[in-house]
Amino acid sequence: MDIFQVERNDGCPCGSGRKFKRCCQDRVEDAVRRIGQVIGMSGCTAEGREIIETLGFLSGLQAEDEGHMPDPETLGKILKEAWEEEDDMRSRKDEGALRGLSLQLQVLLGEKPYLRHIRVPVWLFDSGEDDEDFDIVEYLTGTGGYLFVTEAVESIRLSLLYDDYTEDEVKILLTGLGWLVVDDTRGLFFQSVLYKTRCDLLAAGKEASEIFEKYGDENKLGVYEEMRSIFQKYPVYKKMLSADMLKGINPAVKAISQGEIKINVPLYSVLGGIYAIISGLADSFTSVFSRRGVFPALIPPLEDVLLDGGELIFFFPEVVNFIGEAIQENRDDELESSLGKLLVYLTCLHDEIQLTLLKLLYMRCICTFLDELPLALPEAGVEFGAPKDFCDGKLVQQYAGYLESQGMAEEAGHVRDVYRSMGEQARVKAETQEKELVKLARALFGEVPVL
């Protein structure tokens, strides 16, 4: 298989965005030549040349951060030894020794962090048939294989760059790389990864149930903390759970979106978002209304405030707390388990979907504040009667002062920060478009995103 199908004018596979000829081509060609020199390129089979060329790419592509890729001469020397040993086993027809190589590769696949991402999504094939593994290998040798191979090669490159290796371990890795690159032996690599995948899922499942037993129902947050380390050790387990959980999250997301579960967080944790909505969205009512089906939390200004503006630090613990409490109060079993999955997703799975969920909840909380005015906070001695009151300097200062008196200096500081950077602009909008704002908040209620 030609893994790096790169022409001179193609984009460079290192990901720099430049053309190959203006980026890594010279380094790659130099590496191929140097590896070939150590091994003796002229005596090589076509398959051997393919492996050397792939290794040349791994060694020649520039890295984003400085790593410790072995130099081409070292790689060539180790590859040569690996070939000699494997050839020897094959000529002796020593099946046991070859199985031993596969086992050593499986150990590496578990020990080196970057190699832990080379796994097979076996749950996609979970049909209950006995010869499931046959289906998977057939899939991998067919259409699904190319993507798997290129991703695996990239993981091997990153592992060589950033993981620590002894020379013997590099030898095993290069043996595996050789299997992966050559059509006739690729099945050996697939089988090794498949075994490792199944072992990972078994081990992770066992460790997870031990954790759940240890903490019981009492300490849910403790469970999630420990689950994170399991996810780090077994990324494939996280992938499987996340695919599985997405299906289970929908009832909770729907109940929250449609107001069946009323989500409540303190004002300071969404104030920046309220300003962003007032300023940003006031300008685009019509476009929001006309683009039905567009998930409102994807509207950019909100993401800026939440992530770059730092409101996430205040919002995240509040929303996690809220969902935790909602689980305690809930009587409906399906909803309770769905909320539990939502909580796990938010706290443990750091991916794109987690971010989308967070933005949805954030949006929902902001709309609640706008929709349910007036908001009286008698303990703070303030009342917000209309959207423009959130942008009233005096009221906001009083609210911040109250937070401070409660020992919440950071929260007070955040309130003052967002007011300083966004409050004034929002005030101008709020005064001119008050009615539309409330209407918009109501309209955004009940929008359920498609996950």
Binding site residues, Zn ion, CB under 5 A? 12, 14, 16, 23-24
Rounded-to-integer distance, Cα 337 and Cα 66, Å: 45
Whether residue 374 has a cis bond before it, omega within 30° of 0: yes
Rounded-to-integer distance, Cα 122 and Cα 370, Å: 46
From the CB of 3, what's the least distance to Zn ion, in Å?
16
From the CB of 24, what's the least distance to Zn ion, in Å?
3
Q: CB-wise, 16 or 398, nearer to Zn ion?
A: 16
Q: CB-wise, 32 or 223, nearer to Zn ion?
A: 32
From the CB of 78, what's the least distance to Zn ion, in Å?
24
Rounded-to-integer distance, Cα 14 and Cα 286, Å: 43
Q: CB-wise, 62 or 258, nearer to Zn ion?
A: 62
From the CB of 130, what's the least distance to Zn ion, in Å?
46
From the CB of 54, what's the least distance to Zn ion, in Å?
16
Tokens of 427: 């005030």
From the CB of 10, what's the least distance to Zn ion, in Å?
11
From the CB of 72, what's the least distance to Zn ion, in Å?
17
Q: Decide the pairing of beta strands 382-384 and 375-377.
A: antiparallel
CB 262 within 8 A of CB 291: no
Tokens of 408: 């919440």
Q: CB-wise, 4 or 402, nearer to Zn ion?
A: 4
Q: CB-wise, 22 or 90, nearer to Zn ion?
A: 22
| Residue among 131, 152, 128, 149 at smallest CA distance from 140 | 149
From the CB of 12, what's the least distance to Zn ion, in Å?
3
Q: CB-wise, 24 or 181, nearer to Zn ion?
A: 24
Q: CB-wise, 24 or 396, nearer to Zn ion?
A: 24
Q: CB-wise, 16 or 354, nearer to Zn ion?
A: 16
Q: CB-wise, 14 or 153, nearer to Zn ion?
A: 14
Q: CB-wise, 10 or 87, nearer to Zn ion?
A: 10
From the CB of 349, what's the least distance to Zn ion, in Å?
32
From the CB of 20, what's the least distance to Zn ion, in Å?
7
For Cα atoms 62, 64, 67, give the angle at the middle one, nearest 5 degrees: 80
Instruction: Give every CB contact of residue 176 below 8 A, 6+ residues apart in sequence.
Output: 105, 108, 156, 189, 192
Instruction: Give every CB contact of residue 149 below 8 A, 6+ residues apart in sequence.
Output: 1, 3, 180, 186
* Sole residue written with tokens 């613990």: 317
From the CB of 158, what's the least distance to Zn ion, in Å?
15
Burial 389-413 (b: 16+ CB within 10 A, else e): bbbbeebbeebbbbbbeeebeebbe
Q: CB-wise, 26 or 383, nearer to Zn ion?
A: 26
Rounded-to-integer distance, Cα 62 and Cα 67, Å: 10
From the CB of 57, what's the least distance to Zn ion, in Å?
10
Q: CB-wise, 20 or 224, nearer to Zn ion?
A: 20
